Amino acid sequence: MSSLDALNRLAASLAKLPGVGRKSAERMAIALARDPTGVLAALTRALQEVGDTIRSCGRCGYMTPHDQDPCRLCTDSQRDDSVLCVVEDPSAIAALERAGEFRGRYHALMGKISPMNGEGVDGIRVQDLLERVGEGEVTEVILALDTDVESDATASFLAELLNERGVPVTRLAFGLPAGSGIGYSDPVTLARALKGRQQVI
Ligand SMILES: [Zn+2]
């Protein structure tokens, strides 16, 4: 067994994170290994703490403390139950909250339909979405999905399902660059995209 196996395993784990390529993961792993009492120690503690105390909200999918499920966004009585904003993952909820424009509820799909990666409809939270819409309070679903081909296909699929149920569907409109992620968008651009959302037919 090579003495660098642990380092390689760390790099392989880091490379599974969104936005981290293999080379970046290797550089991170080496930087951590070079600084065992600094960043590595803090990161080890932080990882343990997150694992022990943070979970996904059972309703919207956003991050929440273990003992607070549903999360504060789902339980906030000041928010509008009639507008449901559908995103791919919780990082998009964080970005939309930073934008400060949206006061409705959220639903994270936890992915998108991606045949290339073997991800079908069953792998994302579509059934949960339909159940929420079926509760009858939602009068508009905003699809705040990313702007790549798979996200477009996912949006079309969802729009058809929701339209069949008589729920108007809008999608964020202008301002978002093609191929970009909602989670990476700046607050001003996102706020404009929300205001300019368009109905999906
Ligand atoms: Zn929630």
CA 31 to ligand 1 center in whole angstroms: 36
- The CATH class of 5-54 is mainly alpha
CA 77 to ligand 1 center in whole angstroms: 12
70-82 exposure pattern, b = at least 16 Cβ within 10 A, e = fewer: ebebbeeeeeeee
Domain residue spans of the chain: 5-54, 79-199
Cross-sheet strand order for the sheet of 140-143: 104-108, 80-87, 140-143, 169-171, 198-199
- Model confidence at 73, pLDDT cuts 50, 70, 90, reads very high
pLDDT at 51 (0 to 100) = 96
pLDDT at 178 (0 to 100) = 63
CA 57 to ligand 1 center in whole angstroms: 5
Burial of 143 (0-12, 13-18, 19+ CB in 10 A): buried
CA 90 to ligand 1 center in whole angstroms: 10
Give me the mean pLDDT over the 49-69 stretch: 97
pLDDT at 189 (0 to 100) = 78
pLDDT digits (tens, 9 = 90+) for 17-39: 988 999 999 999 999 999 888 89
- Model confidence at 2, pLDDT cuts 50, 70, 90, reads low
Give me the mean pLDDT over the 47-62 stretch: 97
Question: Per-residue pLDDT for 103 more than 80?
Answer: yes
∠ CA 62-67-68, nearest 5°, is: 45
Question: Per-residue pLDDT for 198 more than 90?
Answer: no
Higher pLDDT, 59 or 146: 59
pLDDT digits (tens, 9 = 90+) for 112-149: 998 787 778 888 999 999 999 999 999 999 999 987 88
- Model confidence at 1, pLDDT cuts 50, 70, 90, reads low
Residue 130 and residue 88: Cα distance in Å, rounded? 15
Using alpha carbons, list the distances in angstroms from residue 3 to 7, 8, 9, 14, 39: 9, 10, 11, 19, 22
CA 195 to ligand 1 center in whole angstroms: 23
Residue 145 and residue 193: Cα distance in Å, rounded? 11
Using alpha carbons, list the distances in angstroms from residue 13 to 16, 28, 41, 103, 193: 5, 11, 17, 36, 34
pLDDT digits (tens, 9 = 90+) for 147-179: 788 888 999 999 999 999 999 999 886 666 666
CA 121 to ligand 1 center in whole angstroms: 21
- The CATH class of 79-199 is alpha beta
Question: Per-residue pLDDT for 83 more than 60?
Answer: yes
